[in-house]
Amino acid sequence: MKLSPILGFALVALTLACLPVLLPDGFYLGIATHALVFAILALSLDILIGQAGMTSLGHAVYLGLPAYAVAWLTVQAGWPPLPSVIVALLIGTLTAALFGLLALRASGLGFLMITLALGQVMWGVAYRWVALTGGDNGLRMPGRPVLLGIDLQAPLPFYAVVAVCLLAALICLWHLDRSAFGACLRGTRDQPRRMRMLGHDVWRIRYAGFVIAGFWGSVAGVLYCLDYQYVSPQALSLPQSAEALLMVVLGGAGTLAGPVVGAVIITAIKTVVSSYVDRWYSLLGLTFIVVVSLMPRGLVPGVRDLWERLRA
Amino acid sequence: MIVSRRGLLQTAAGAVGIAATANTARADEPIRLGFLTVKTGPLAAGGIQMEQGMVLWLKLNGGKIAGREVKLIVADTAGSPATTRTKAQELVERDKVHLLLGPVAAFEALAISDYTNAQKIPVLGVAAAEDMCQRIASPWFVRATSSSGQCAHAIAHYAATELKYKRMTIIGDDFAFGHEQNGAFLRVFEDNGGKVVQKLWSPLNAPDYGTYISQIKSNVDAVFMSFAGSNGFRFTKAFNEYGLGGKIPLIGGMTAMDEAILQQTGDDALGIITANWYSAQVDNPANKEFVAGMQRDYKVDPGYYSGGPAVLGAVLEAALKTTGGNIDDRAALMHAIHANVVPNTVRGTLRFDEYGQATGNVFIRRVEKKGSRYINTVIKTYPDVSQFWTYNPKEFLANPVYSRDYPVARFLEA
């Protein structure tokens, strides 16, 4: 069964639009919002993992850095919200452009280690540059701003903005997936030498993928700051990067739905299940082991395979 | 009564529309206490002790505060600011708690302060960050334990005036809690004629203290340490292994020689003097009962983490007696907390200043061995210690918050 893309997006949009009605109250809408923010982060990381085949352990940089930028610009520098958000996105994307130059000197394990190191550097700066970042006490952002005439303070309008951003990310990444550029990106993943022989500049293709991932990561970062109204070095930490990676791997790399599903499951375990189960960390680990051993490619491809086997 | 989350939800499901009735609750309805603590991750040791302290205090009081049943609803923040915020929202919006106790860490408390202030939810905190009750004080937040600097001021005074130390090295964990304690120590020590000649910072997760210990000047009178968690134990052990034990005296901040790590530290800890708003050895009836309960139920002496909830419980008890058991008028509750003098807590009498910080006893304690156990014997009590020490609050608050570089150390030697 092949779902037509327009119908697929319409279904996603309908689900997102119905959620506020289906969920019992603002608290669960808030949890859904957290999940969608992380879904955008996981989607952006999947450009690197699923499309370009490069595993990064430093993706929290693009969550934390723009989040710090928004909080600092609006609260400390007193900027209006819109310019702060735009500049924060720029800072995140430019950082990706810079870090891409460094990280893409290697691929595979080397790439992983460089992104890990860069992530730790940013974490260290946030932790130690107390005058700018407040150190481990972090930066607070009292209240969500009014952005483009929308007051984001209440759960519903903010959820709507996050949902629209997620939809935009999905459509954009779907286009990327189908475009010539997407094909090139996958080419550099599967056959980098052959791509080079065909005259493609492998480095440049990977670099473009890295910067796009950085941009969408920054979108998640800005929303993260507005969502929690607080940033601390934990947003830049290695566990945060690893969690994003976990979301992608759990849901299924290289699919549009996978990272979203992964983000929703992990957020649900962290926030909802942890209220009922004391050993929820173990549950998280167990879930991961079960999924990886039964469906090595992740939940979404695994379920799809299962579905097709049942139909056949 | 302590309920599991599931149990509470079932009760809530039974009483459909609990949301609508929460604000007009009847007086015989239980008080819902939201308790934010850390049960997973690196901070879990302290968080679990905190929960033990709370559970025991309630048990000793028959599960009641001021005659009203209590439902304690515990949430695990996992030591993450983002999760803390979600959990605080859950407790407030889903469980309709009347007030929040906790959370453990400063960054967790800071992550929820804007939310709880906006919701006008009383928070009885323990996290020590100076500014919570200073530059960003809120009418909805009180702290019955102490700020980072409050105990460090006292031991700095003790070191300068009674121990007669002149030249000291200070070392601490390289994060806000360590910075604030060392800043407070430096200020009072130097204002009383001492000189801090060396400042050292070690990372929170330092694998080995050897490199820091080897830097300690051999000609200082003593070393002040402001470690948290198990770092005090690890540092002290290394200090003795490197042969400095017995040569240079060690003194410490409020978590450096906590009861939770004292037994492991063993003979290495003997003679170390620290300051804290609490000691398991504090001689009053409330504390005797509490300590006996901790030893019976958990086989440990209470310390910084488990003592905190016992103080909070007493504060709440007194406030609810003042309001006649009414917890729904939150403003009246906060007013009662601020106005009350609470006489019988495990740390003795305390009251709150206008910024929500408790003013009360700070104990100077020395580690001694009694039978086979190590204890923090109280050797001096500073009564009515304010978070501002003897300084004028207005002038104090005009200065920057204590940090890595403030106050400036003028006597550092290369």
Please report, for chain A, the start and end positions of each structural domain, with discontinuous segments joined by +.
5-311
| Contact residues for B23 (Cβ-Cβ < 8 A; gap 6+) | B328
Please state the rounded mean pLDDT for residues B2-31. 49
Chain B closest-CA separation from residue A233 CA (Å): 10
3-state secondary structure of B20: helix
**Record: contact B107-A136, CB cut-off 8 A:** yes
For residue B51, is pLDDT > 80? yes
State mean pLDDT over A230-258.
91
Please report the domains of chain B, with CATH numbers, ordered by start residue. Answer: 5-121+284-346 (3.40.50.2300), 149-281+361-398 (3.40.50.2300)
Position B35 confidence tier, pLDDT thresholds 50, 70, 90: very high
Residue of A nearest to B118 (CA): A143
Total number of residues shown for chain A: 312
CA angle A126, A127, A128 (to 5 degrees): 95
Between chains, do B111 and A138 touch, taking CB under 8 Å as contact?
yes
Distances (CA, A) of B339 to B219, B332, B384: 48, 10, 15
CA distance A43 to chain B (A): 20
Q: CA torsion A234→A236→A240→A241, rounded to 10°?
A: -160
Q: Which of A128, A271, A281 is nearest residue B86 as measured by Cβ atoms?
A: A271
What is the Cα–Cα distance from B225 to B261, expressed in whole angstroms?
A: 15
CB atoms within 10 A of CB A11: 11
Find the mean pLDDT for residues B243-271. Answer: 90
CB pairs < 8 Å spanning A and B: 88
Residues in chain B: 414
Determine the pLDDT at residue B21: 41
Residues of B in contact with A31 (CB under 8 A): 86
Q: Quote the ipTM score.
A: 0.85
**Alpha-carbon distance A120 to A124, whole Å?**
6
Gap from B110 CA to chain A (nearest CA, Å): 7
Q: Do B107 and A138 touch (CB under 8 A)?
A: yes
Give one DSSP letter per residue of B37-54, joined into a string. Answer: E--SSTTHHHHHHHHHHH
Q: What are the pLDDT digits (tens) for B305-353?
A: 999 999 999 999 999 999 988 899 999 999 999 999 999 899 999 999 9
The half-sphere exposure of A87 on its side-chain side, counting CA atoms within 13 A, is 14
- Partner-chain residue, chosen from A230, A270, A281, that has the shortest CB–CB distance to B111: A230
Check CB contact under 8 Å for A230 and B176: no
Whether residue A154 is predicted with pLDDT greater than 60 in this model: the reply is yes
A232 to chain B, closest Cα gap in Å: 8
On the question of pLDDT at B10 being above 60, the answer is no
Q: With pLDDT > 90 as the criterion, what percentage of chain B qualifies?
A: 74
For A76, counting Cβ atoms within 10 Å of its Cβ (0-12 exposed, 13-18 middle, 19+ buried), the class is exposed
Task: Show the tokens assigned to B401.
Answer: 């918050």
Q: List the one residue out of A174, A180, A162, A186 whose CA is nearest residue A255.
A: A174
Is A75's Cβ below 8 Å from some Cβ in B? no
Query: d(Cα A87, Cα A73) in Å, to the nearest integer?
Result: 9
pLDDT (0 to 100) of residue B40: 83
- pLDDT per residue as tens digits for the range B373-397: 999 999 999 999 999 999 999 999 9
- Chain A interface, best mutation among B38, B43, B87, B107, by max A CB count within 10 A: B107
Q: Answer whether residue A250 shows pLDDT above 60.
A: yes
For residues B205, A95, A227, A229, the Cα torsion angle rounded to the nearest 10 degrees is 60
From chain B, pick out residues whose CB is under 8 angstroms from the CB of A75.
Answer: none
In which element (H, E) is residue A230 found? strand A230-231
* Least trusted range by pLDDT, from A9-18, B11-20, B84-93, B196-205: B11-20
Strands A146-147 and A139-140: unpaired
CB atoms within 10 A of CB A45: 28
Dist. CA B234–CA B209, nearest whole Å = 8
Q: Which of A137, A143, A278 sits opposite B106 (nearest CB)?
A: A137
Tokens of A167: 């939809």
Distance CA B353, CA B387 (A): 9
Q: Which residue has the tokens 């309908």?
A: A14
State whether residue A230 sits within 8 Å of chain B by CB: yes
All residues of chain A having their beta carbon less than 8 Å from the beta carbon of residue B85 are 228, 230
In which band, very low, low, confident or very high, does the pLDDT at B230 lie, cut at 50, 70 and 90? confident
Question: Please, which pLDDT band fits residue B260 given cuts at 50, 70 and 90?
Answer: confident
- Which of B5, B175, B177 to mutate to probe the A interface, most A CBs <10 Å? B175
Is the Cβ of A26 closer than 8 Å to some Cβ of chain B? yes
A174 in contact with chain B, both atoms CB, cutoff 8 A: no
Question: Which chain A residues touch B404 with a CB distance below 8 Å?
Answer: 130
Chain B residues with CB under 8 Å of A34 CB are 82, 86
Note whether A135 contacts B111, CB cutoff 8 Å. no
Q: For chain B, which residues lie within 8 Å of any Cβ of chain A, measuring from their own Cβ?
A: 4-6, 19, 39-41, 75-76, 78, 80-83, 85-87, 89-90, 93-94, 106-107, 110-111, 113-115, 118, 129, 131, 174-176, 179, 403-404
The tokens of B247 are what? 């040569």
Instruction: Work out the mean pLDDT of chain A and round it to a whole number.
Output: 90
Residue A56 has pLDDT above 60, yes or no: yes
**Would the CB atoms of B107 and A235 count as touching at under 8 Å?**
no
Please state which of the ranges A2-11, B23-32, B58-67, B398-407 shows the lowest mean pLDDT: B23-32
What do you get for the CA distance between the two ends of chain B, in Å? 59
Answer whether B35's CB lies under 8 Å from B102's CB: yes
CA–CA distance, B79 with A240 (Å, rounded to integer): 13
Please give the model's pTM, rounded to 2 decimal places: 0.86
Residue A93 scores a pLDDT above 90: yes
Lowest mean pLDDT among A129-138, A227-236, B67-76, B248-257: A129-138
Phi, psi of B341 (to 5 degrees): -105, 120
Taking the Cβ of residue A140 and every Cβ of chain B, the question of whether any pair is shorter than 8 Å is answered with yes
CA angle (B234, B79, B45) in 5-degree steps? 40
Subunit contact A136:B176, Cβ cutoff 8 A: yes
The beta strand positions in B203-316, using DSSP E, are 222-226, 250-252, 273-276
Residues in A closer than 8 angstroms to B103, CB to CB, are: none
DSSP state of B133: G
pLDDT in the model for residue B2: 52
The pLDDT, as a whole number, for residue B14 is 40
At B20 the pLDDT is 39
Helix axes A26-46, A5-22, angle to 10 degrees: 150
- Asked if A234's CB is within 8 angstroms of B175's CB, the reply is no
A129 touches B: beta carbon within 8 Å:
no
CB A196 within 8 A of CB A187: no
Q: What is the mean pLDDT of residues B181-194?
A: 96
| Shortest distance, CA B28 to any CA of chain A (angstroms) | 26
Q: Which chain A residue has its CA at the smallest distance from B84's CA?
A: A271
